[in-house]
Amino acid sequence: MSVTSTALKRFGVPALAAITIFSGIPAFVGTASAAAGDTITMTPAADSASAGTCNPFTVTTKNSAGGVATGTVDVVIRQRNNGLATAADTFDVNFCAANTTTPNQMPTATAFTGTPTGTAPGENSDSDTRRGEFQPDPVTGVFTFGVIGTEAGVADIDAFIDNNSNNAIDTGEAKATSVKTFTAGTAADVKTITATPKTATNFVGETHTILATLKNGATPADTVAGITPTADITTGPNNAVTPTCGASNNDGVSTCTYIGTLVGTDSIVVFLNQVNADANPATPDTTGPDAGEPQDTVQKTWATAPTGLTIDTTCGAATTPRSGPEDCFNPLSDNNETFSALVKKADGSVAAGALVTFAITNNNPATNTTTNQVATLSATETTTDASGIATVTLTNPQTIANEEITVTATVRGQTPVTADDARKTWRTTTTGQRNIVLTPETATTSTGTFRTFSAKVTNVNGEAVQGVTVTFDESGAGAFRNGNSQTIATTDINGVATVDVTAGANESGTQTITATIGGAECVKLAGDPAGSTAGNCTDTSTNTFVVGTPSPTATGGRAALTLTVLTPTIPAGSTGQLRATGAANELYELRCYTRPSTTYFTARSGAFDTAGNPVTFTLSLGRNTRCFIQYATTPAQGASGSVVINVTTVLSLSTVRTGVRTYIFQGRNLPRVAGQLITLYRVDAAGNEIRTPNLVTDSSGIYRVTRTFTGTGTFGFKVRTSQTMNNAAGVSSTITVRVY
């Protein structure tokens, strides 16, 4: 609904100037109170007309002697929403240029401060009004004005003699009313169609939406409601498909959709068939009496949907370590936060050019009041860069203590849905940070593998401090996981920030890792216990990279060992399979670790047969597992690269009806993890997932929530949990619930 002063623009009157003049200068006519015997009539009293046309009204004023009544006449237009598709789908109604007499017959569209009478149920009442001030002709007492409704709906019109110039309908003041019904336009009214987007890319199997705006020939043009255009794929691989269009809504917009099943580019024309006797109504006329039917053309490119991609979302820019925390905690003065999503292929390499969609959820929406503006994202869809990272910026214009917002990143087009969350919480103040401890203090790490170092930050009382920015630096052999020698992480709820280091297969030597908290955060703060002092603001660990177990690379003259994953992703509690090749008659050891442990152990052992045939291993797993294979004798002379089997969390979901429109949603996770975040989604008819409550599992892995619905119907529901270091993201089956 447009609330700008359309009438003033059409009359060429600057809105601000008009408002200032009429609201700041009292009328020069009229009395301080209602004039007895004044009458006012307005015609027509009630009628209907097509939306988009200017409809004239005539007003006549008289005094008790039959002469012209004195006083400014106010005309107030109020529009209803009770006849519209939804309460939010309001229509435009305003003054228009239909004035035929003089003087002062230009509406001011100033604010209406009075209380309209005769309001109908479902009407917007004072929430959407237009007011114009008119001076009747001094001889006839007559003036005219026009009203236009650009969309279907109903308007109530009050005209009253404002004797005391207070912009309100007072007792005794003469008043006339009219009801104007604007009906949807006809196909013949439509002169232009504008279709968007002009170009777009979707994955095969997705639904493509075209928005077609229908307008008439007025100047400026107005939208036309209630008209259904036709869409036709004229060229392209999917030209056998017929898009479906709906009737234009009260903004003149028709929604056309279709699903592409073949890769390539389609050209789609959206048009309005305005000749009923057309030989081929499925295509727009280009010749004959109705040549030039309104139409517009768009193009749609269909691509192959991605498969096997994973996504990891964190607070922070692309330099944030991927093993870093998913949560960030910021002071109220920090309005912006960058979120990054790393997308990888099934083989662990980064996926450049992947489409990632971002969405935000305010986890405590009560904080989004009129004094707290709603947070926004810099983009809802971005493409991963050469490092496989897509970033967006979350902006919250006005933050509130303990406000929490979740940012969800989703790999677009992949089935099943692949998504991950990260959260930002605003704090009132930061507690005094004093001490940082980096562990382990010393470590020995095989080249080609990763080692995690953890920095814990505590305050003067020894309590963990979340939301502290920790800077990690390294020197010597190796580098951080992101390939740099410096990276930044933020402490989680346990006061811990983590970083991963690694080295190339043949790069050995000593590495020094240093963790530092900023000087401003490492000083004595107001409120600290008397006599307390700042502690250590930096700590250092030493790591030595060695070539050898658990990932040796020398072959020792034997056939190179290989290990491949036959089941890259499995549900928790099921079996995964690996296949290894190596030298005939040689003994082998399958070395693995299962999260949260990162210590390798011998999971299987044996010998290749006399022909050196591949060996298949079957493992029953509940957590993400990494494995490699090495020769059992002189293992440093031959080992494969490591591979990962991702294990998804298994989620169950069921419902129990406990009362009228009241249901308990419950289920369990596998593995049985306490404190795991579970999100319940409602699934609509189009397959869209609408996030509802976030839940947390108890000590037995059980989650439960009671929902009471305001309406009835049949709905789909499912639950999801995001990816962690220990398990891949999980999703339940969709269940159908009849709410009554």
Asked if residue 557 belongs to a domain, the reply is no
Any domain includes 88: yes
pLDDT band at 296 (very low <50, low <70, confident <90, very high): very high
pLDDT at 193: 94
The tokens 């006839």 sit on which residue? 140
**What does the pLDDT read at residue 135?**
77
**Residue 128 sits in the same domain as residue 21:** yes
Looking at residue 369, the DSSP 8-state letter turns out to be: S
Q: How far apart are CA 48 and CA 605, in angstroms?
A: 87
Q: What pLDDT is attached to residue 186?
A: 81
Residues 598-610 pLDDT 10s: 888 889 988 888 8
Side chain identity, residue 731: V
Angle (nearest 5°) at CA 631 between 625 and 633: 135
Mark whether 596 and 732 lie in a shared domain: no
Whether the pLDDT of residue 297 is over 90: the answer is yes
Vertex 97, ends 90 and 220: CA angle to 5°?
Answer: 60
Report CA-CA distances (Å) from 299 to 199, 201, 503.
Answer: 5, 9, 48
Tell me how far apart the terminal alpha carbons of the chain are, to the nearest angstrom: 34
Cβ atoms of 364 and 342 closer than 8 Å:
no
Cβ-based neighbour number of residue 609 at 10 Å: 11
Token look-up 């401060």 returns: 113
Q: How confident is the model at residue 515 (pLDDT cuts 50, 70, 90)?
A: very high
Q: 4-18, 92-106, 276-290, 413-427 — which is least confidently predicted?
A: 4-18
pLDDT of residue 126: 39
Which pLDDT value is given to residue 198?
A: 94
**Burial class for 587, CB neighbours closer than 10 Å (0-12, 13-18, 19+):** middle
Question: What CATH number is attached to the domain comprising 624?
Answer: 2.60.40.730
> Are residues 97 and 168 located together in one domain of the fold?
yes
Q: How many of the other CB atoms lie within 10 Å of CB of 307?
A: 12
In the predicted model, is pLDDT for residue 14 greater than 50? no
Mean pLDDT of all residues in the chain? 77
Together in a domain, 195 and 286: yes
Least confident stretch, 56-60, 364-368, 717-721: 364-368
Residue 308: count of CB within 10 angstroms of its CB:
13
Higher pLDDT, 180 or 636: 180
Residues 601 and 488 in one domain: no
Q: Which residue has the tokens 């209380």?
A: 115
pLDDT digits (tens, 9 = 90+) for 452-462: 888 888 776 56
CATH of the domain at 655: 2.60.40.10
Same domain, 403 and 367: yes
pLDDT at site 502? 87
Residue 6: pLDDT above 70? no
* Highest mean pLDDT out of 15-19, 232-236, 292-296: 232-236
Domain membership flag for residue 552: no
In a domain, 114, yes or no: yes
Q: Count helices and strands (H / E) in the chain.
A: 2, 52
What is the arithmetic mean of pLDDT over 77-98? 59
**593 and 533, same structural domain?**
no
pLDDT for 267 beyond 90? yes
The verdict on residue 144 lying in a domain is yes
Pull the structure tokens for residue 468. Answer: 């502290």
Q: What are phi and psi of 42, to 5 degrees?
A: -140, 130
Last residue of a domain, one of 303, 338, 362: 303
Among the listed residues 69, 145, 71, the one whose alpha carbon sits nearest the alpha carbon of residue 102: 145
Residue 530 has a pLDDT of 55
Least reliable range by pLDDT among 12-21, 421-430, 544-553, 721-730: 12-21
pTM to 2 decimal places: 0.44
Residue 605, domain extent? 562-647
pLDDT bucket at 196, cuts 50 / 70 / 90? very high
- What secondary structure does DSSP assign to 672-693, as a single string? --TT-EEEEEEE-TTS-EEEEE
Q: Is the pLDDT of residue 87 over 80?
A: no
Tell me whether residue 652 is exposed, middle or buried, using C-beta atoms within 10 angstroms of its C-beta: 0 to 12, 13 to 18, 19 or more.
middle
pLDDT for 691: 84
Domain co-membership, 97 together with 173: yes
Show which of 130, 154, 183 is a domain's final residue: 183
DSSP bridge partners of 690:
682
Check whether residue 11 and residue 136 sit in a common domain. yes
| Res 392: pLDDT | 92
Hey, what are 307's tokens? 């498969």
pLDDT at 35: 66
What's the mean pLDDT in 607-627? 88
Work out the percent of the chain whose per-residue pLDDT is above 90. Answer: 19
For 630-659, how does the pLDDT look when each residue is reduced to its tens digit (9 = 90+)? 888 766 566 788 888 989 999 999 898 888
Q: Which residues pair with 577 in a beta bridge?
A: 618
Helices (H), 326-425: none
Reported as a single tens digit per residue, the pLDDT across 678-727 is: 989 988 877 788 888 888 898 888 999 998 888 888 889 999 998 888 88
The structural domain count of the chain equals 6
Out of 14-18, 36-40, 278-282, 701-705, pick the least confident: 14-18
Mean pLDDT computed over 526-531 = 52
Q: Are 110 and 23 in contact (CB under 8 A)?
A: yes
**Does residue 427 have a pLDDT over 90?**
no
Cis peptide bond prior to 289, omega within 30° of 0? no
Looking at the chain, how many residues does it have?
740
pLDDT the model gives residue 249: 78
Q: Taking a C-beta distance cutoff of 8 angstroms, is the pair 194, 245 a contact?
A: no
| Residue 554 belongs to a domain | no
**Which amino acid, 418?**
T
- pLDDT tens per residue, range 97-147: 654 433 333 443 333 333 333 333 333 333 457 777 787 888 888 888 888
569 pLDDT higher than 90: no
551 in any annotated domain: no
Q: Is the pLDDT of residue 472 over 90?
A: yes
Choose among 199, 266, 203, 195: nearest CA to 230. 195
pLDDT recorded at residue 7: 31
Cα 152 versus chain centre, distance? 31
Q: Which tops the pLDDT comparison, 197 or 598?
A: 197
Is the pLDDT at 56 greater than 50, yes or no? yes
Residue 420 pLDDT > 50, yes or no?
yes
pLDDT at 262: 94
Contact 502, 529 (CB under 8 A): no
Q: Which of 341, 314, 319, 499 is nearest to 423 (CA)?
A: 314
Of 381, 397, 427, the one marking the end of a domain is 427
Strands (E), 39-174: 39-43, 46-50, 54-62, 72-79, 93-96, 129-134, 142-149, 153-162
Q: Are residues 414 and 447 in the same domain?
A: no
Q: How far apart are CA 220 and CA 252, in angstroms?
A: 14
Output the pLDDT for position 259.
94
Hey, which residues does 39 pair with through a beta bridge? 62
* Angstrom distance (rounded) from CA 148 to CA 59: 17
For a pLDDT cut of 70, what percent of the chain falls above it?
75
Residue 378 has pLDDT above 60, yes or no: yes
The 54-62 sheet, strands edge to edge: 39-43, 54-62, 142-149, 93-96
- Residue 346 phi/psi, 5-degree rounding, is -65, -30
Residue position matching structure tokens 């006061």: 495
- The type of residue at 444 is T
Tens digits of per-residue pLDDT, 298-327? Answer: 999 999 989 989 898 887 765 444 444 456
117 shares its domain with 151: yes
CATH number at residue 86: 2.60.40.3450
Q: What is the mean pLDDT of residues 171-189?
A: 83
Residue 655 and residue 643 share a domain: no
Nearest to 82 by CA among 119, 109, 116: 119
What region does 713 belong to: left with phi over 0, alpha with psi -120 to 50, or beta?
Answer: left
Residue 555 in domain:
no
